[in-house]
Amino acid sequence: MQKMHYVMRELGFNRFQNDRRCLLLVSCAWPFVAKAQAPVRIKIAAASNLKFVLADLMGLYKQQTGVEVDVNFGASGNLARQILQGLPVEQFISADEERVAELAKAGRTVDAGQRYAQGRLALVVPQNSALPLMQGVQATVKAMKPGDKFAIANPALAPYGLAAQQVLQRTGAGPLGTQQLVLGENIGQATQFVATGAAQAGITALALATAPELTASLRFVPLPEALHAPLHQRMVLLQGAGSAARDWHRFLLSPAAQAVWVRHGYGLPQ
C-alpha cells in the first residue's frame, strides 16, 4: 500500500489534486471576474433631431473611454412625459428648454441643465421634386398641387414642429389646412415623410437634412433663424445619474464635441 502511494505521488497525483483545487477556485471566481469586466453602458433619452450627430459623438466617446451609450429617441414632449412616468434613463437631451424645466420643477433632475446647441431649420423636398425650393417656403407651398402634403413635426410634441409652424406663419405660407399639412410624431418621422415621397415638401432640422444618409433622397435649403423663435437646446442629468453619465455629459460640452455639433449644422449655445 505504501508503495502504491509512493507510485501515485511520483506520477503526479498530488499535483493533480492541487490543479483541481486551482481550477475549482478559478471556476468559482469566474462569474465575478466576468461581471467586473462587463462594459459600462449609459442610458439616455434624446430628441429625434439628434440621431446622426449623436451617432458620431457616441462613436468618438466610445473610442476614448470604451463606454457605450444606449439612446431612446423621440419627440421631446413625449420623452419628458415618459421620464415623469419612470423611464429609466440617466440623461435627457431635449430639443428645447421647456421640457427640461418641467422635469426640474418635478424634482427629476440634478440641476437646471445646460444649453448644448442652437438648432436650425431647413426646407426640404424629395430629390426629384420640381418645386421651386430655392425660392423659399411661400413659393414652394404656392406651387404645390391639390392633394400634395407638407410635413412638419407635431408642434404640440416637438420643438422643431413648433418652430416650423412659426416659419409658415411668418413667411405668409400658413396656416395650412388639415388636408395639406401632415404631422410627424417627431422631426425624424416628418423628415421620412418627405424622403419617401409621402409628403411633397416639409420643414425639418438642418442636422437631418444634411445627413449623408438622406442626401440621396432630399434636397434642402437652410432657413433664416429670424423666421422662428430661437431653438435653444438644453440637456440635463436626471436623479440617480452615475459617474459614467456625468462624464459623458461633460464630454458633450467639450471643445471636441462642439466641433461635431457645428459640423452637423448646429450653432454653439448662446
Joined together, the cell numbers standing for residue 18 give 492541487
Cis peptide before 146 (omega within 30 of 0): no
Spell out the per-residue pLDDT of the chain, length 270, in tens.
443 343 334 434 344 344 444 444 444 443 433 344 567 899 999 999 999 999 999 999 999 999 999 999 999 999 999 999 999 999 999 999 999 999 999 999 999 999 999 999 999 999 999 999 999 999 999 999 999 999 999 999 999 999 999 999 999 999 999 999 999 999 999 999 999 999 999 999 999 999 999 999 999 999 999 999 999 999 999 999 999 999 999 999 999 999 999 999 999 998
- The CA angle 86-241-57, to the nearest 5 degrees, is 105
pLDDT at res. 179: 95
119-227 maps to which CATH number?
A: 3.40.190.10
Total number of residues shown for the chain? 270
* Amino acid making up residue 162: L
HSE at residue 177, side-chain half, CA atoms within 13 A, is 5
**pTM of the predicted protein model:** 0.84
For cell 469566474, the residue is 30
Residue 198: Cβ within 10 Å count:
15
Round to whole Å and give the CA distance between 240 and 113.
15
Contacts of 55 (CB under 8 A, 6+ apart): none
